[in-house]
C-alpha cells in the first residue's frame, strides 16, 4: 500500500510518499515541500498547491492520501488560510478518486512516537528511524508529511487486521 501524506501550510506544504510492503516494512518513496511565495495572491498560491499535488498524485499513484486534521489556532486569519490549503489538498486527491483520511496531531504523534504530546524533534527523529533515513527529511514540513503517511499506514493496517478477526 502506498500513502501520500500532506502537511498543509500557507508558506510550505510538505509531502511524503510512503509504502508498506507485504512484510509490514515501511519504505520512503519520495518527500519534499511545495514552497509558496507570500508575495503572490492567495488564489495563485492555492492553484500552485493544487497543480503540484495533482502532479504528485499522478506520478506516485498513491492508494490513499492522508492529511492533518484541523487544529485550533489563536490567529483566525491564519487558520482560515490553512483551511483553504487543506481544502485544495482534499480536492486534488478526491478529483483523482483517491480516499482522503484526516488525523489529529495527537493521533499522528502517538502513532509515530507512541506519545501524543511528543515534541516535534522526537517525531522527526522517529520518522527518519522508521524509514531508515540517514538524516531528518527537509524541509521540516516533509518530515511531518511522512509522519502523517506513517500514521495512516499504521491505522489502516490495524483496522484491516481487526476486520479480519471479526470476519472469522
Give the domain range for residue 89.
2-167
Give the Cα separation of 141 and 1 in Å (integer).
22
Annotated catalytic residue: which of 19, 68, 144, 152?
Answer: 68
Does the annotation count 21 as an active-site position?
Answer: no
Neighbours of 131 (CB within 10 A): 21
- Alpha carbon separation from 127 to 8, 95, 161 (Å, rounded): 18, 29, 23
* pLDDT 10s digits, 111-162: 999 999 999 999 999 999 999 999 999 999 999 999 999 999 999 888 777 7
Catalytic residue among 19, 141, 144, 152: 141
Q: Which of 7, 19, 144, 152 is catalytic?
A: 7
Q: Which three cell numbers stand for residue 119?
A: 515534541
* Interatomic CA distance for residues 115 and 106, integer angstroms: 8
Supply the CATH number for residue 52's domain: 3.30.420.10
Number of domains in the chain: 1
Q: Is there a catalytic annotation at residue 141?
A: yes
pTM over 0.75: yes
| Residue 135 bears catalytic tag | no
pLDDT tens profile 69-85: 876 666 888 888 899 99
Amino acid at each position: 500500500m502506498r500513502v501520500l501524506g500532506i502537511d498543509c501550510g500557507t508558506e510550505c506544504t510538505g509531502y511524503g510518499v510512503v509504502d508498506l510492503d507485504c512484510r509490514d516494512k515501511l519504505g520512503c518513496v519520495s518527500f519534499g515541500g511545495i514552497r509558496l511565495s507570500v508575495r503572490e495572491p492567495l488564489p495563485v498560491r492555492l492553484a500552485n498547491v493544487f497543480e503540484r499535488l495533482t502532479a504528485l498524485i499522478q506520478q506516485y499513484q498513491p492508494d490513499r492520501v492522508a492529511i492533518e486534521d484541523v487544529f485550533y489556532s489563536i490567529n483566525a486569519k491564519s487558520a482560515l488560510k490553512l483551511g483553504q490549503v487543506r481544502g485544495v489538498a482534499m480536492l486534488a486527491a478526491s478529483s483523482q478518486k483517491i480516499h482522503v483520511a484526516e488525523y489529529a496531531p495527537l493521533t499522528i504523534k502517538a502513532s509515530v512516537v507512541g506519545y501524543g504530546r511528543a515534541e516535534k524533534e522526537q517525531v522527526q527523529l522517529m520518522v527518519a528511524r522508521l524509514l531508515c533515513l540517514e538524516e531528518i527529511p527537509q524541509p521540516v514540513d516533509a518530515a511531518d508529511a511522512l509522519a502523517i503517511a506513517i500514521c495512516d499506514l499504521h491505522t489502516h493496517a490495524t483496522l484491516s487486521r481487526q476486520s479480519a478477526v471479526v470476519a472469522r
